[in-house]
């Protein structure tokens, strides 16, 4: 290694020389070396290269400090505004070079002239574009190190502007005074990225008077006409009292009426003098014709009677045989029943007909592995109660006393419509220890708390989500469906405590904007209101805990439920989920992008994903959530900023529109629109564009799309359609996080009122459930209801130690019971 020595000659000028150091360098050499820093940049380039290449220089002279003297700061700027980001790099030897990055991509002012990097390293954006939104980083580097500043976020926003007024609508009244309106939209331009919305009214109303429609009325009948040659006479009337006008209804009925004349009134014809013998011959022929027709009618009647009798006899024999076989195959053998006929023994192997018009419940009488045939589900009448004296067999052995099972099953009355869709149905057998049913990827579950089923009873309970079109909930007026239609049953079973049904909803959960009702299907199949959200009564069998995206329903009765809402004013909004699909493979110039607009409910999302999986589609972007206001304005979608040199849109209009009522009603599950694009060359595979979504008067949103159409990187069955790893049916202790004995100890400790408030009331406050104090107080064990709600909220992510900490905070020594061993439980 060489040392650089610095000295001064007699003339006063500084001289430098390189010298091989001895074993340990003299401290003066290092001092001279430090003095050299002053003259480093005045040296010749060749000498500087020698210094830089020496290990001694590398170890002691080169450096780049870590901290920037000035870092760029984030800004929010309007569209087309100039943006200046300042950056002063850290000190270093040699001096650091500066470059800028946006979203980790290097900015090149040569290729994009909208950017300019000044001599003092500041970045200038001449006119801010929407595409310039991002995180900007100043990068300083030299041969020693590379430093990055903190990222500065630049948000380019667009302030909204009003469009022109639409034409006036037709008068709202059909007859008399009404109103008409016109509207304008905040889309010129649409506010984006937090830009201010338009000021002023988007709707103007004006009074109007509509001319009332006049329904037509009949005039009086005219006099009968003279008897005509065809031996008939006529009379008529006109629709002139009054005449229909301004859209009124026409008269109903005939305006012309005819009757036959009597023989005396008929005019005499030229055949009056025909000889009598000819009349006699014609009369005889008529009599023969009449006799033949009567004989044929009698023969047909007798034949029909014989066919009906034969059919009834065969049907009676077949019904008896099928009744015998159904008793044997379900494990029943009522006392005194006759054995099946030997010649019809083959009927015992007939598979059950799932298309019949009866409804049957097998309960616990069938083996657990028979999943597909658990239910027979139709819209027919209910079956008669099971006969007394029936026996239940499991694996060929009598499970318990016959009278006990008769009483156990006698309360199990079933609905007219039981679940048919096995893929969206789960079921299990439960006793007093309770359990849990879950339908994967739908957000729907049913918690059956301990002691909800009376001791000594065993119920087989099902949970299903209804998707069939004929089971849709009828909606009136401006009502909208806010949740899936969920059925749990069998209805009519006796419960000692309420179960908790969890299901997603898609409204903003602000009851100031909504009138939300819980509907339940009765035994006749009609839907009725059983609860108004926000006005729950503790004496009713239903109570709701409303969360941001989930509704927890406490119910003492099983059945079919759904949430239906009606907005109180235009401030109400629903959550929508936008999902974008395309074909997994594209071999043509045309390329289709399907944009689904659905309620933000997991079950609807799962259904669309399953359908696209069958169609061979793939996701091209993550789902996006937006709010859809009750403003009677349609949803508009458009695609912008495509590279014109490679792509073009085949859409004739500037945007596509989905009608307001199609979305607001919530009954159309596959609502979507398709954008057809065309690439100019088959070699073009990369597509970048902006998807803009807005309501006419609302704030819009813009989503950036950037993907390769030739790569199937988002298969629908692998990334977003992951099946739950948890079992769909859990019975007994495995369905709960709190062990059964520990739960009993907590309830006995907190149910009794405490003067200092260290009881179930403090537990509810610590768990942020104080809004439901009156409901908890109405129960025999308030603590158990609170723990039930905690179980259903935290089954997947709950930490039992956190609950133990809450117990310790209350001041109860019972918090230590969480440390008991599994053997004690």
For 187-228, the DSSP string reads -TT--BTTPPPPPS-SEEEEEEEEPPPB-----PPPPPPPP-
Q: Is domain 573-708 in CATH 3.40.1000, yes or no?
A: no
What pLDDT, on the 0 to 100 scale, is given for residue 731?
Answer: 94
Q: Please check the confidence at residue 450 and state whether its pLDDT lies above 80.
A: yes
What pLDDT, on the 0 to 100 scale, is given for residue 41?
Answer: 53
Q: In a 3-state reduction of DSSP, which class is residue 496?
A: coil
Q: In a 3-state reduction of DSSP, which class is residue 360?
A: strand
Q: Is domain 411-567 in CATH 2.60.220.30, yes or no?
A: yes
Task: Choose between 694 and 29: higher pLDDT.
Answer: 694
What pLDDT, on the 0 to 100 scale, is given for residue 215?
Answer: 84
Give, in degrees to the nearest 5, the angle at Cα 733 between 727 and 739: 130
Task: Choose between 719 and 609: higher pLDDT.
Answer: 609
Would you say 115 and 109 are in contact if contact means Cβ atoms under 8 Å apart?
Answer: yes
Residue with tokens 């920037």: 68
Topology, domain 163-219+237-254: TSP-1 type 1 repeat (2.20.100)
Q: Please check the confidence at residue 133 and state whether its pLDDT lies above 50.
A: yes
Boundaries of every domain in the chain: 3-61, 75-157, 163-219+237-254, 411-567, 573-708, 736-824
SS3 content of the chain, % helix, strand, coil (to 5): 25, 30, 45
Q: Please check the confidence at residue 388 and state whether its pLDDT lies above 60.
A: no
Q: Are strands 560-567 and 550-555 parallel, antiparallel or unpaired?
A: unpaired
Would you say 786 and 770 are in contact if contact means Cβ atoms under 8 Å apart?
Answer: no
What pLDDT, on the 0 to 100 scale, is given for residue 335?
Answer: 33
**Which residues, 6 or more positions from 153, have their beta carbon under 8 angstroms from its beta carbon?**
74, 134, 135, 136
**508 confidence band (pLDDT: 50, 70, 90):** confident
Average pLDDT along the chain: 76
CATH number belonging to domain 75-157: 2.60.40.10
Q: Is domain 736-824 in CATH 1.10.533.10, yes or no?
A: yes
Kindly report which listed range (52-61, 99-108, 111-120, 801-810) carries the lowest average pLDDT score. 52-61
Give, in degrees to the nearest 5, the angle at Cα 554 between 428 and 470: 65
What pLDDT, on the 0 to 100 scale, is given for residue 692?
Answer: 92
What pLDDT, on the 0 to 100 scale, is given for residue 87?
Answer: 92
pTM, two decimal places: 0.52
Q: Please check the confidence at residue 235 and state whether its pLDDT lies above 50.
A: yes
Q: Please check the confidence at residue 571 and state whether its pLDDT lies above 50.
A: yes
Task: Choose between 366 and 283: higher pLDDT.
Answer: 283
What pLDDT, on the 0 to 100 scale, is given for residue 724?
Answer: 53
**636 confidence band (pLDDT: 50, 70, 90):** very high
163-219+237-254 and 736-824: identical CATH topology:
no
Query: What gap in Å lies between CA 336 and CA 327, rounded to an integer?
Result: 13
Q: Please check the confidence at residue 559 and state whether its pLDDT lies above 70.
A: yes
Q: Are strands 542-546 and 573-583 parallel, antiparallel or unpaired?
A: unpaired
Q: Please check the confidence at residue 634 and state whether its pLDDT lies above 60.
A: yes
> Packing angle between helix 782-793 and helix 740-750, nearest 10 degrees?
130
Omega of the bond prior to 65 within 30 degrees of 0, cis? no
Kindly report which listed range (277-291, 312-326, 372-386) carries the lowest average pLDDT score. 372-386
Percent of the chain beyond pLDDT 90?
30
Give tens-digit pLDDT for 616-625: 888 888 999 9
What's the count of helices (H) and strands (E) in the chain, helices before strands? 12, 44
Beta bridge partners, 521, equal 527
Would you say 8 and 62 are in contact if contact means Cβ atoms under 8 Å apart?
Answer: no
Q: Please check the confidence at residue 275 and state whether its pLDDT lies above 70.
A: no
Query: What gap in Å lies between CA 765 and CA 788, rounded to an integer?
Result: 15
What pLDDT, on the 0 to 100 scale, is given for residue 207?
Answer: 81
Omega of the bond prior to 231 within 30 degrees of 0, cis? no
Query: What gap in Å lies between CA 56 and CA 355, rounded to an integer?
Result: 92
Q: Please check the confidence at residue 680 and state whether its pLDDT lies above 70.
A: yes
406: left (phi over 0), alpha (psi -120 to 50) or beta: alpha
Kindly report which listed range (138-142, 222-226, 643-647) carries the lowest average pLDDT score. 222-226
What pLDDT, on the 0 to 100 scale, is given for residue 244?
Answer: 85
Give tens-digit pLDDT for 756-780: 888 899 999 989 888 888 899 999 9
Query: What gap in Å lies between CA 763 and CA 786, rounded to an integer?
Result: 8
Query: What gap in Å lies between CA 42 and CA 6, rounded to an integer?
Result: 14
């Amino acid at each position: 290694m060489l040392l650089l020595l610095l000295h001064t000659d007699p003339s006063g000028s500084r001289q430098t020389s390189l010298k091989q150091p001895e074993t340990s360098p003299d401290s003066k050499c290092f001092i001279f070396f430090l003095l050299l820093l002053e003259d480093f940049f005045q040296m010749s380039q060749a000498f500087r290269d020698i210094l830089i290449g020496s290990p001694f220089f590398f170890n002691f002279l080169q450096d780049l400090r870590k901290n920037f003297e000035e870092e760029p700061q984030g800004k929010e700027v309007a569209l087309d505004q100039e943006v200046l980001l300042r950056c002063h790099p850290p000190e270093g030897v040699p001096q650091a070079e500066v470059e800028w990055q946006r979203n980790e991509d290097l900015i090149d002012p040569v290729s994009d002239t909208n950017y300019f990097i000044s001599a003092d390293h500041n970045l200038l954006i001449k006119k801010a574009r929407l595409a310039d939104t991002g995180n900007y980083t100043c990068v300083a580097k030299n041969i020693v190190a590379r430093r990055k500043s903190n990222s500065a976020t630049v948000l380019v926003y667009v302030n909204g502007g009003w469009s022109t007024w639409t034409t006036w609508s037709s008068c709202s009244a059909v007859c008399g005074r009404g109103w008409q309106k016109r509207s304008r939209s905040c889309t010129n331009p649409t506010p984006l990225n937090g830009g201010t919305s338009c000021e002023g009214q988007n709707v103007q109303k004006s009074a109007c008077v509509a001319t009332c429609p006049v329904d037509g009325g009949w005039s009086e009948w005219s006099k009968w006409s003279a008897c005509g040659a065809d031996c008939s006479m006529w009379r008529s009337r006109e629709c002139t009292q009054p005449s229909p006008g301004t859209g009124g209804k026409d008269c109903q009925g005939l305006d012309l009426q005819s009757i036959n004349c009597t023989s005396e009134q008929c005019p005499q014809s030229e055949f009056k003098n025909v000889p009598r013998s000819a009349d006699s011959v014609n009369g005889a022929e008529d009599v023969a014709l009449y006799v033949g027709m009567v004989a044929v009618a009698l023969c047909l009647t007798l034949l029909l009677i014989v066919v009906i009798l034969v059919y009834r006899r065969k049907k009676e024999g077949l019904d008896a045989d099928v009744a015998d076989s159904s008793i044997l195959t379900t494990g029943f053998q009522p006392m005194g029943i006759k054995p099946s006929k030997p010649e019809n023994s083959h009927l015992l192997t007939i598979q059950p007909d799932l298309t019949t018009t009866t409804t049957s419940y097998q309960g616990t009488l069938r083996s657990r592995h028979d999943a597909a045939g658990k239910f027979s589900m139709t819209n027919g009448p209910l079956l008669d109660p099971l006969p007394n004296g029936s026996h239940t067999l499991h694996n060929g052995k009598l499970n318990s006393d016959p009278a006990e099972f008769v009483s156990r099953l006698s309360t199990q009355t079933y609905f007219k419509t039981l679940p048919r869709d096995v893929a969206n149905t789960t079921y299990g057998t439960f006793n007093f220890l309770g359990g849990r049913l879950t339908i994967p990827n739908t957000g729907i579950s049913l918690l059956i708390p301990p002691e909800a089923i009376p001791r000594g009873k065993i119920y087989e309970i099902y949970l299903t989500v209804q998707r069939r079109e004929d089971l849709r909930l009828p909606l009136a007026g401006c009502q909208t469906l806010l949740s899936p239609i969920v059925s749990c049953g069998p209805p009519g079973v006796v419960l000692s405590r309420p179960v908790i049904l969890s299901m997603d909803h898609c409204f903003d959960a602000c009851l100031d904007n909504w009138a939300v009702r819980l509907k339940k299907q009765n035994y006749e199949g009609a839907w009725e209101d059983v609860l108004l959200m926000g006005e729950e009564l503790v004496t009713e069998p239903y109570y709701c805990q409303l969360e941001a995206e989930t509704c927890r329903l406490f119910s003492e009765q099983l059945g079919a439920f759904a949430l239906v809402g009606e907005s109180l004013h235009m401030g109400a909004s629903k959550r929508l989920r936008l999902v974008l699909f395309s074909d997994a493979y594209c071999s043509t110039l045309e390329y289709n992008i399907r944009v689904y607009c659905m309620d933000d409910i997991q079950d609807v999302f799962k259904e669309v994903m399953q359908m696209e999986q069958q169609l061979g589609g793939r996701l091209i972007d993550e789902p996006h959530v937006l709010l859809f206001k009750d403003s009677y304005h349609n949803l508009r979608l458009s695609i912008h900023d495509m590279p014109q040199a490679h792509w073009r849109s085949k859409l004739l209009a500037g945007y596509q529109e989905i009608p307001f009522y199609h979305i607001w009603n919530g009954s159309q599950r596959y609502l979507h629109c398709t954008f057809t694009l065309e690439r100019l060359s088959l070699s073009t595979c990369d597509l970048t564009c902006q998807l803009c979504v807005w309501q006419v008067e609302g704030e819009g949103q813009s989503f950036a799309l950037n993907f390769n159409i030739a790569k199937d990187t988002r298969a629908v069955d692998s990334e977003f359609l992951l099946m739950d790893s948890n079992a769909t049916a859990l019975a007994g202790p495995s369905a709960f996080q709190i062990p059964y004995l520990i739960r009993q100890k907590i309830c006995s400790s907190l149910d009794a009122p405490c003067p200092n408030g260290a009881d179930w009331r403090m537990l509810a406050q610590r768990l942020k459930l104080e809004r439901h104090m009156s409901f908890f107080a109405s129960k025999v064990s308030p603590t158990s209801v609170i723990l039930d709600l905690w179980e259903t909220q935290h089954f997947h992510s709950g930490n039992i130690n956190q609950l133990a900490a809450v117990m310790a905070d209350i001041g109860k020594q019972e918090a230590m019971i969480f440390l008991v061993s599994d053997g004690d439980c």
